[in-house]
Chains A and B, each alone.
Chain A
Amino acid sequence: MALLEVDRLRVEFPTRRRALVAVDDVSLAIEAGEVLGVVGESGAGKSVTGAAIIGLIEPPGRMAGGEIRFDGRRIDHLSDEEKRRIRGNEIGSVFQDPLTSLNPLFTVGQQLVETILAHSDRSADDARRHALRLLEDVGIPAAAHRIDSYPHEFSGGMRQRVVIALAVCAGPRLIIADEPTTALDVSIQAQIIALLKRLCRDQGTAIMLITHDMGVIAETADRVAVMYAGRIVEVGRVRQILRAPAHPYTTGLMDAIPRLGRDDADLAQIDGAMPRLHEIPEGCAFHSRCPHAFDLCRRRRPVLQATGDAAAACFLIDQERSDD
């Protein structure tokens, strides 16, 4: 049994005319200690999937179907208070923008201590000692001094380290990191990813690493789920998918990874844009941009098909099979 199981998740945002489906029939699993990358263009439904897992979909959005199980226990229909006790304690979060994730009016120490106290019955002194240890652990220099500083006194990279300390402070078994480096300087991004990986490896914590950067996935994740227009179009072991992507969209994403020894001008972008929620076409949502699209793609929607250690939702897979 996996640590986290998301089963046919569907998330809708009601509008005046009809409900927009932001996440449609998404299933995924994360094993204890595993790093699952979730990749896809902006608007693919990655953040909404993450929000659904921690029970914080923004109203009026709502989970319209599916199940979420953590450690074998269904968590999506728990009471607000029970969900709160899971957040931070069992499932930690790292948000995209460290500049806005921290409350400007409280010191980083206060924010750490309150989070620790919310999930344990340590004494205040003990919580502060723990907070200090965490700040040292995430690499804040002169932590004993900086613990009483306010967020604005830290640089972006340092703030993201504080956010990571907040995510791990109650000892969660899974961390959902939603584009943790997107807002940061390129020079700092690798350090933050390395920090996240080290902390989680030490504690055996699993990570759901949301990103739109296939390069980060290649270096970090054990498995990857590729999302497109609210659905998973390919999922499986990173090694296999990198070696032989089965879905044309995955291939397109991989051609967009900058590599050493390749001229940046050769970087291929996928032509066109992902359809917005209210204009997702019939058939395969990718067909208008797909170089291999054929009749069937415009009429019917492909479902995930196993391809060795992975699965992809594309009619080409059936064809290959039948070709064999």
Chain B
Amino acid sequence: MLAFILKRLLQSLLVMFFVALIAFSMFQFVGDPVHQMVGIETTLEEREELREALGLNDPILVQFSRFVLDAVTFDFGISYQHKKPVADMILSRMPATLELAIFSALLALALGIPMGVYTGLRRNTLLAHVLMTVSLAGVSLPTFLIGILLIFVFAVMLGWLPSFGRGEVIDLGWWSTGLLTVAGLKALILPSITLGLFQMTLIMRLVRSEMLEVLRTDFIKFARARGLPEHVVNFRHALKNALIPVITVTGLQLGSIIAFAIITETVFQWPGMGLLFLQSIQTVDIPIMSAYLILIAFVVVAINLVVDVLYYVIDPRLRATRSADSGA
């Protein structure tokens, strides 16, 4: 177990190293940072001073080490555009993105799993066919289109829900939450449906095909032959086996939900990290772009790590270290 975690940890570190390398090289290739930071009237001497102060004259290896050490201590430098520490800017935007992403993932799970189980168990009913057909739309419609459609119907036509922003937020320390106010919750609905719809259909289809697969196995037939009630066979024996791959996929998808939040945040003007990133691209604000890249990569890598360990905990076959006895 320990060896397994250690191995995964090392792999994760390796991935993060390469991400840091890419993030660092953005500074090297996209323009001269001093250029971005100073005005027209700054003299050459002043520029050179700034260059020295920023450490831009140091050997590249020294610069990279400093970049990594800073990043590890959550220091991503100063935004060119806003002249504020990037870490603070991102931190203040993080709650919005995380609340949206996690809410979307929960929504996708809470609806996707039951729908998958239903379409798997009752696959010839009308409702199952309808769900399967509609889910095709969920998979193939682009996110921004779904968002715009939802806004049109529920915000513009019906006027039930807000079309942009987080509504009312409450600060809990540095974490600003929209979960504690009615306006905040209402504002969360459309964006999280938009962001979670694709994952929901994915989970539904995955659960369905896993259920069908598991229901064909010998141990399910044997469970029936033992006279276990149908709900025990379906929901205890079949579902638990069907959910193992769902854990992996959902975990991995959580990473991509956070990454894809960019589009949803743009459509709904949701003040999260994705929106910040998009704005930073327009102004070529490299520190923000590189910090976002590193953070998203970190979240994805961390989630993968947790998923692997979870998988390990849930499936006794992977957990086993005791050797099976031999003979009869």
Contact = CB atoms under 8 A, between A and B. Distances in A.
Interface in B177-236: 217-219, 221-230, 232, 236
B105 to A, nearest CB: 24
B39 interface: no
Contacts of B236: 114
B327 to A, nearest CB: 6
A100 interface: yes
B322 A153 contact: yes
B237 interface: yes
A214 to B, nearest CB: 23
Interface in B219-260: 219, 221-230, 232, 236-237, 240-241, 244
B2 interface: no
A130 interface: no
Contacts of B219: 100-104
Nearest to B218: A100
A166 B324 contact: no
Interface in A74-125: 80, 84-89, 92-93, 95, 97, 100-107, 114-115, 118-119
A187 B226 CA distance: 28
Interface string A166-196: 1100100000000000001101100110000
Contact of B227 (A101, A119, A150, A187): A119
B327 A95 contact: no
A133 interface: no
Interface SS of chain B: helix, strand, loop or mixed? helix
- Give the size category of A's interface with B: 35 or more
Contacts, number: 107
Given A87-B225, A93-B222, A150 B316 contact: yes
Interface in A187-208: 187-188, 191-192
A89 B227 contact: yes
B315 interface: yes
A88 B228 CA distance: 8
Nearest to B244: A105
Given A102-B222, A118-B227, A153 B232 contact: no
A161 B328 CA distance: 8
A153 B326 CA distance: 10
A56 B224 CA distance: 8
Contacts of A139: 328
Contact of A54 (B218, B225, B230, B327): B225
B325 interface: yes
Contacts of A101: 218-219, 222
A170 B227 contact: yes
Nearest to A163: B222
A87 B223 contact: no
Contacts of B226: 87-88, 92-93, 115, 118, 166-167
Contacts of B223: 103
- Give the size category of B's interface with A: 20 to 34
A105 B245 CA distance: 13
A174 to B, nearest CB: 13
Contact of A155 (B218, B232, B322, B326): B326
A158 interface: yes
Contacts of B222: 93, 95, 101-102, 163, 166
Given A87-B225, A103-B219, A104-B316, A155 B230 contact: no
A93 B222 CA distance: 8
A153 B322 CA distance: 7
A155 B327 contact: yes
A37 interface: no
A154 interface: yes
Nearest to A156: B328
B235 to A, nearest CB: 12
A150 B324 CA distance: 10
A158 B241 contact: no
Contacts of A106: 237
B317 A150 contact: yes
B320 interface: yes
Interface in B301-326: 314-317, 320, 322, 324-326
Contacts of B224: 56, 84, 87
Contacts of B324: 152-155
Contacts of B218: 95, 97, 100-101
A86 B325 contact: no
A84 B328 CA distance: 31
Contacts of A87: 224-227
A158 B325 contact: yes
A176 to B, nearest CB: 8
Contacts of A185: 328
A230 interface: no
9 contacts: A87-B227, A102-B222, A118-B232, A139-B328, A141-B325, A150-B316, A153-B320, A184-B328, A188-B327
Given A95-B225, A105-B244, A188-B328, 14 more contacts: A84-B228, A85-B227, A88-B225, A89-B227, A93-B226, A95-B221, A95-B222, A103-B237, A114-B236, A118-B232, A150-B316, A153-B320, A155-B326, A158-B328
The 10 closest A-B pairs by CB, nearest first: A157-B328, A88-B227, A87-B227, A93-B225, A100-B218, A188-B328, A150-B316, A88-B226, A101-B222, A103-B219
